[in-house]
Chain A
Amino acid sequence: MKNLNAGYGFLKVLWDVSIQIDRGEFVALVGPNGAGKSTTLKTISGLLPPQSGKITFDGQVINNQDCALNCRNGLSYISEELNLFTGMTVLENLEMGAQLLDDKNKMEENLQFVFELFPRLEERVGQYAGTLSGGERKMLAIARGLMSNPILVLVDEPSLGLAPQVTEEVFNALKVLNKKGVTILLVEQNVTKTLKFSSRAYILEKGEVVLEGPSSELITNDHVKQIYLGT
C-alpha cells in the first residue's frame, strides 16, 4: 500500500499513508482514537474506495476492486462493527464465511480449526448470532473471517470491549494463526499487548504514519513510552 489517501465524501482522513507487509508477517497498526486506523482497513478491504494512491495485494493493484472479489483472492477483513448475520445461527454464519470454498471437506476442516481456536463457539453452534455475548460475537466474527482460507487477515480492534482474559484468548488465536503461515495486520489501541504479540508495527496519528519498526524496538521508543505506555 503506497501513498494512500482516503476519506468519506469531502472529508479526508488518511494523508499519504504507506504500509508494506510481507507474507507471513504479524504486523500491528496502532494509534489513538480517530487516527484513521479503521479507515485504513476499510480502504484496503475494498469497502471504501480510496481517493488516491495505490493498494497492491499479491502483486496486483486492487484499488477499486469490490470487497467480495478481494475476499475471493484471499484477503479477509474482520471489521470493528463485526457485521455478523444476526438472524442466522453461529453455524450458518460460519458457513456463509466459507461460501466461496467449493470443497465441502475443506469447510469441515476449517470448522474444526476455528472450533479449536474458540471452543466456546462449538458449544453455541445452534444459537442465533444476535443473542451472543459481546466476546462471543467477536470470536464468531474472527472465526467467520477465517473460514475462507485467507492469505491475509485484517483485524480491527479485537480487544475492544472485551475482558482482559478474553482478549488474551483472541490474541493467542491470532498468534496460532500466524504460526500457520497466515499474514496478519492487527489494528489496536491496546498498545502494550499488541506490541508484545506482533513482530512489526506502524504508529498512526491524525491520518499519518509517525513511526514504524520492529515491535520490540518501538516498545522502548521514547515517543511511544510517553504517549501510549504512560511511563
Chain B
Amino acid sequence: MNDSSSAKVIEWLKSAGGITVTCTILVAIAVSFHKGPYVLVNTLVTGGMWALMAIGVSLLFGVMNISNFAHGEYFMIGSLTAYYIMNPLKQYLLETPNDFLSFITPILGIAGAAIVGAIAGIVTDKTIFAQLRKRNREGWLLNCFLITIGIQIILINVHMLVFGNTFKGVVNYWDVPSVAFGDVYVSVDRVVVFGIAMAAIVLFWYLMMYTSLGKKIRAVAQDENGARMVGIQVNGVYSTTFALACGFAALAGGSLLFMFPSYPTVGVAPLYNSWFIIILVGFGNVAGAVPGGFMIALFQVVTRTYMGEGWENVIPMFLIAMILIFKPYGIFATKVRSVWEQ
C-alpha cells in the first residue's frame, strides 16, 4: 500500500461513514464475545435481506422518483407465496417421503416468491404508474407517495380478506444437521438464506455495472430525456426496475419465512427497516444499502438482546433521528453517493 492510498484509508476512517462502520464492527465483536457468536448469526441473516429491501426502495427512488411506502407489502407477497408453495409440499412429504422433493421444496418456495413479486411489480407499474406517467408529471412526488400508501392499505386488507388474519409460517426449510463453524453451530437454513442475499447483491451489482440492461437503467436514472434520445424505451426500463425492486422484496419475504411467518402486516417492519437504512446511508445511495442493512440488523439484534423485545425499533429510530440532525444527507453522503453517480 503506498502513501496516498493509506492516507485515503485514514481519511475515510475519520469520516462519518468510517466512524459508523468501524463502531458497528467493534460493537459486533464485543457483543459476540459477551453473549456468544449466535447473536451475529441473526445479524448476518437478516442484514442481507434488509439490504435487498433497501436496494429496491433506493432503486425505485433513484430511477423513477417514487418513494415506495408499499415496499413491505411485496415482502408480504413473497412470504405468502413461499408459504403456499412450501406448506402443501411439506404436508405431502409427510405422507410420502421423497428426498429430492424435500431438498427442492424450499428452493421452489423462495424462487416462486421472487418471481411472483417481480410479476406483482410489473403489474403495479403497468396498471398504476404507467398511467400516471401518461397523464402528466405535475406533483409527481406527492401523487406517488399517496398512491403507494393506498397500495399498502389495499394489499394488507386483501391479505386479511382472502387469507385471513393468521400466522402462516414454516418451522424450518431443511431437516438436516447444522453446519459447524469452529464450535458455533448454524442451521443450514440460515447459511443458505445468507448465501441467497449475498448472491443476489453480487448479481445485482454485476447487472447494473456491466450489462446493457443495467446501463439502460442507469441512463434513465441520470437523464430520462437523454435516454429517450438515444433510443431507450423508457417504459420498458421502468417496468424492469419495478420487477427488480419488488422481486428483491419478495425474495427477502420468501427467504425469511422461517423467521417471519406471513400475516397481513408482516411487511411493515421490513418497510421501516428499509427507510431506516436509506436515511442512514443517504437517498439514492444503492451501494450504501449493503453496509446499512447489516448495521440496522445489528442495532436491532443488540437492543433485543440487551433491552428486551420491543426496544429493537426504538433505539434505531433514535439513532436515525440523531443522524438526521447531524448528518442529514446520510453517513456516506460526501463519500459514496451511489456508485454510478459519483
Contacts and interface: CB of A to CB of B under 8 A. Distances in A.
Interface of A: 45-47, 66-69, 71-72, 76-79, 81-88, 92, 95-97, 99-100, 128, 144-145, 147-148
A78 B342 CA distance: 24
A83 B229 contact: yes
B231 A128 contact: no
21 contacts: A47-B225, A47-B229, A67-B225, A67-B228, A68-B228, A68-B231, A68-B234, A71-B228, A77-B229, A83-B225, A83-B226, A85-B226, A86-B223, A87-B340, A87-B341, A88-B218, A95-B215, A96-B230, A99-B231, A100-B230, A147-B230
Contacts of A84: 223, 226
Taking residues whose C-beta sits less than 8 angstroms from the other chain, chain B's interface range is 20 to 34
Given A83-B229, A86-B223, A92 B215 contact: yes
A83 B234 CA distance: 15
A83 B223 contact: yes
Interface centre among B219, B228, B233, by most chain A C-beta atoms within 10 angstroms, is: B228
Given A87-B340, A88-B218, A68 B232 contact: yes
A97 B232 CA distance: 10
Contacts of B223: 83-86
Given A86-B222, A128-B342, A71 B230 contact: yes
A66 B229 contact: no
A82 B226 CA distance: 8
Contact of A79 (B219, B222, B225, B231): B225
Contact of B219 (A46, A69, A85): A85
B228 A87 contact: no
Given A83-B225, A84-B223, 9 more contacts: A47-B225, A67-B229, A68-B234, A79-B229, A83-B223, A85-B223, A95-B215, A100-B231, A144-B230
Nearest to A97: B230
B138 to A, nearest CB: 9
A79 B231 CA distance: 14
Contacts of B342: 87, 128
Contacts of A99: 212, 215-216, 230-232
Given A68-B233, A68-B234, A85 B228 contact: no
A86 B223 CA distance: 8
B276 to A, nearest CB: 26
Interface in B215-247: 215-216, 218-219, 222-223, 225-234
Interface of B: 212, 215-216, 218-219, 222-223, 225-234, 340-342
A87 to B, nearest CB: 4
Contacts of B226: 82-85
A72 B341 CA distance: 27
Contacts of A81: 225
B217 to A, nearest CB: 11
B219 A66 contact: no
A71 B215 CA distance: 18
A127 to B, nearest CB: 12
Closest 5 CB pairs of A and B: A83-B226, A71-B231, A67-B228, A87-B341, A100-B231
A86 to B, nearest CB: 6
A83 B230 CA distance: 10
A76 B229 CA distance: 7
B233 A96 contact: no
A145 B231 contact: no
Interface centre among B212, B222, B231, by most chain A C-beta atoms within 10 angstroms, is: B231
Contacts of A97: 230
B334 to A, nearest CB: 16
B230 to A, nearest CB: 5
A195 B223 CA distance: 33
A47 B226 CA distance: 10
A29 B146 CA distance: 44
Contacts of A95: 215
A128 B337 CA distance: 15
Contacts of B212: 99
B233 A66 contact: yes
Contacts of B222: 85-88
A147 B226 CA distance: 14
